[in-house]
Structure 1
């Protein structure tokens, strides 16, 4: 525990407290493993007007399935992880970073069996752009059964979409309402056509403040514990252990919280596959836009079946002078060689094919260009908007049922939950020009590109506070956030500065545990979450029992192969 002053300045609005016992617990909303495995989400009694309880249960289902491999044979609940029934309370609120246009959501889960003798909070910012419970599978299975509270934040992104056609958005309880109802996100302007997405349209560049979001979640957790256990109050940073854990964007957020400029409110950090921007290394937007342009053309060099449009994209790249060669094979080789020369490994490229298949590179580039440049609704520098779409891909107004489910079903970054990307049209060369425009926000000229690059410059991480124990865990096959551009550079800089940072590099692990339920991926890749839970165990033993922190390790795992169930020995946990 730290010994710093416990003064807090953050104000929390729209505070709600809900009880979760009996058939509606904290960890799985009463669904259990079988309910989380169900292929269809928990139903709403009235699809156009779900209750807050129905929305929460469905959000729990969606966020578990978006992060963890729950498929039979994948090992969850058997080899690693817990799905114990945990009764307790949830506290929800809005908080606002100083100077921000929009609030971010915070939630705190307090188990009835909270350990008042070993007070602990685990802060878990959402992965990706997910909603406030987006890290439930990352932190809650480890923390809640141990008697720790869990604090969440959506980091200024999340699923609080706003329907510009109807003038409706998402209330504090997840239901749909008008701006006068105190919504989680109201864009400026709040008019027009289509859908406004908080991550893209807040004008706040929330990624620049990830560390502040994490600390505010911890502050709210202390207040929630005061309210839950008044006889044991006050709960403060100097009498409560605080560990921050996150994966992907959440991993980047906890590393940003770790730097804190001498403010020692935080006791330890575990960061998995972190999206972290390091001085001198390639930021996410750079390698994402490069991948969007070149990866579909390059992948056949590795023996990966091409996408249906790959040959046409190779030809368009050649016409634009972006790859060389007179044959398809030569152009594919040129695209591949360019990616390898810029730092991509074969392992990252193979796993990156997942993002090609789901058009994720373009989705990230569209949303993040808007966020980094602080562009509002209808201001995207490449002309992109978001909307519900017809079967032919044309914009249309959202239905009431679609709008009602956004809070629970959205991932925070379209396409998904009935909201798609509307690209500029009317040009036969539009697909390539669209990607070139997005790429030009990184390596081009003009005021718009300058705004995007200024936003990216605000993301550069600093080394952690001296003495703060940090474990960084990253899969060496990560194809979305390659370790060569992120954690490897971060750890090298932190260790060179004398920081207490340990690094686990795990072979045969890519970015998306949730995709391991697909047989082709589950046969070749292992999950990341077991290593996050193990790192939390080692960190806890260090903080409370004085055990040494683990050494750096390159972990040689064994893929389970087709048709085989995961075994503990496959994971090869370091000793």
Structure 2
């Protein structure tokens, strides 16, 4: 089967949507249809309409509603409705990804929150060989035109839920009339309250295990288990190893949904529908993994700040550098001038804790020195020797302040080792907690917001990490050392974690797939020296001539934190460059120029003022 030929548009349609729509959504070259039959199509299990005061892009909240500090309220906090949960999930995921602060420029300098009416199609899809499903959801705008068939596939950032990439793909694709297919990549916010025996249904509302037939996650629960289980840690599937297949299955679900939405124009296939994949962070890694899959099903990829691992050119897996940072970075940061670190964390508050870490590292032989200054210098030099830059260390201070390194390591150790509930090799667990961090049962109100509000990885939203190794004086040090030993130690548990990490190693993209990688030079969570730069170098070495690399000066990992004055002043947002990269690959697919060249982009923060276009130069 060949792709449908180009057809003339009606003059009215052209005038309404403009030339940019045609450029973004038009068809290009014919393709092999074999990829479309790799797995049977997934039928939508839930269809909802979103128009008027409840649109696809902001659930009717608009920019002012997304900016509001208080989340959209529930009429009954113990029993939120599916519509209330959806609106709140969209609010939370926008705020978790984009800088929506009044000085940030979103909606004025870049990006769009204009209402987009349409329909949503959702389902639970399970990969062959997996035990747990991943969520897939397709937004089909009313402006979708069957003669300009385009789908943008957007896997969630981090461990977020199914709306976790709405700020990445929706503002670019939906106003152009493209459908957007989302997936939570086998992670997400389908938390299970083990004490109450309650999980999350397809529509986001709570459901009782053993009664509800559409729960998104049903873990194996040993007798006497308590606390909270969540899919990324407890699915026993090692979802990261299948990120690429999650993206492909989401694309297949999009075609099935479009068949349902436009039966008169069916079938929608990989032969006649343009597929672009875009993601940031873990989502960026997922779209790069999708690019390596066989079959001519994918037209182009844009990967922002991707968490991707290649075992060459200095590449390091996330678990390696995260556990290293969890142990060493608090001490190493004391070697940097206090005024060189953004706030928070406040140096006066954290310095005693960081100095204590230096002392415990010295006592265990991991750093040298007779005083804090010498120990900090030793930790700093050790991190520099393994590839950390000063820019990454400074931006990484935020991850230290929010205890993010530990939360990543705890969850990923469980995932890589395929450990179920109660089987974490370092004894970690998750639970609602009292003020003294002791576990307790969750309330109905807490449980009711997990799906909408959580980021998919505790701590947060009333769920904390239970660390059985907590002990003074450096309370988290013993647990962190156990996590590090799972990477470079011996034993069955360490072997299992390393095997899980090895399964996430990326291969090279198909030679004919345009790939544009975008990464901030100051990323302190997923440093480009360990991820994007090695990936691009390996791709060049393998002769992948369609891989391009944009390096954004003063770009870090979290646009959402640019609302903090110290971060917005020094760091440039990354989303404008992801949107620009989508513009460029879409134009290339339309035959309107070659792929953009590699670029080092001299972006900068907004200083004391508001974001202006001049601070965000775009490559020519």
TM-score range, shorter chain: over 0.9
Note closer, same or farther for the CA distance 1:143–1:318 as it changes in structure 2 (3 Å cut).
same
Note if contact 2:98-2:575 (Cα within 8 Å) is conserved in structure 1.
yes
Q: Give the match for residue 189 of structure 1.
A: 221
Q: Give the match for residue 605 of structure 2.
A: 559
Q: Give the match for residue 289 of structure 1.
A: 323
Q: For residue 73 of structure 1, report the CA deviation from its aligned partner.
A: 1.2
| 1:360 corresponds to which of 388, 395, 404 | 404
Q: For residue 286 of structure 1, report the CA deviation from its aligned partner.
A: 0.3
| 1:223 corresponds to which of 243, 253, 256 | 256
TM-score normalised by length of structure 1: 0.98
Note if contact 1:11-1:95 (Cα within 8 Å) is conserved in structure 2.
no
Instruction: Please state if 1:129 is matched with 2:162.
Output: no
Q: Give the match for residue 524 of structure 2.
A: 479
Note if contact 1:472-1:487 (Cα within 8 Å) is conserved in structure 2.
yes
Name the count of aligned residue pairs: 573
Structure 1: distance between partners of 2:44 and 2:200: 13
Note if contact 2:331-2:376 (Cα within 8 Å) is conserved in structure 1.
yes
Structure 1: distance between partners of 2:272 and 2:376: 59
| 1:420 corresponds to which of 458, 464, 473 | 464
| 1:94 corresponds to which of 124, 129, 153 | 124
Spell out the pairing of 1:34-113 with structure 2 (5 A cutoff): 34-113=64-143
Q: Give the match for residue 333 of structure 1.
A: 377
Runs of 4+ in 1 over 4 A off after TM superposition: none
Q: For residue 391 of structure 1, report the CA deviation from its aligned partner.
A: 1.4
CA displacement 1:445-489 (0-9 Å, x = unmatched): 000000000000001111110111010000000000000000000
Q: For residue 11 of structure 1, report the CA deviation from its aligned partner.
A: 5.4
Instruction: Please state if 1:273 is matched with 2:317.
Output: no
Note closer, same or farther for the CA distance 1:427–1:515 as it changes in structure 2 (3 Å cut).
closer
CA displacement 1:348-387 (0-9 Å, x = unmatched): 0000001001000000000000000000001101110000
Structure 2: distance between partners of 1:420 and 1:113: 43
Note closer, same or farther for the CA distance 1:391–1:277 as it changes in structure 2 (3 Å cut).
same
Structure 2: distance between partners of 1:377 and 1:539: 43
Give the secondary structure class of the aligned counterpart of 1:374: coil
Note if contact 1:14-1:172 (Cα within 8 Å) is conserved in structure 2.
no
| 1:253 corresponds to which of 271, 286, 301 | 286
Q: For residue 339 of structure 1, report the CA deviation from its aligned partner.
A: 0.3
Q: Give the match for residue 7 of structure 2.
A: none
CA displacement 1:305-359 (0-9 Å, x = unmatched): 3444111111111111111001110000000000000000000000000100100
Q: For residue 302 of structure 1, report the CA deviation from its aligned partner.
A: 1.3
- When structure 1 is superposed on structure 2, of 114-123 and 286-295 the one drifting more is 114-123
Q: For residue 8 of structure 1, report the CA deviation from its aligned partner.
A: 4.7
Q: Give the match for residue 369 of structure 1.
A: 413
TM-score normalised by length of structure 2: 0.91
Structure 2: distance between partners of 1:190 and 1:74: 48
Instruction: Please state if 1:30 is matched with 2:60.
Output: yes
Q: For residue 115 of structure 1, report the CA deviation from its aligned partner.
A: 2.4
Structure 2: distance between partners of 1:461 and 1:162: 31
CA displacement 1:406-440 (0-9 Å, x = unmatched): 11011000001110001014643652111110000
Q: Give the match for residue 168 of structure 1.
A: 198
Q: Give the match for residue 450 of structure 2.
A: 406
Q: For residue 558 of structure 1, report the CA deviation from its aligned partner.
A: 2.8
Note if contact 1:362-1:435 (Cα within 8 Å) is conserved in structure 2.
yes
| 1:350 corresponds to which of 380, 386, 394 | 394
Gaps of 5+ in 2: 1-27, 339-346
Instruction: Please state if 1:542 is matched with 2:588.
Output: yes
Q: Give the match for residue 336 of structure 2.
A: 302
Structure 1: distance between partners of 2:445 and 2:591: 52
Note closer, same or farther for the CA distance 1:317–1:404 as it changes in structure 2 (3 Å cut).
same
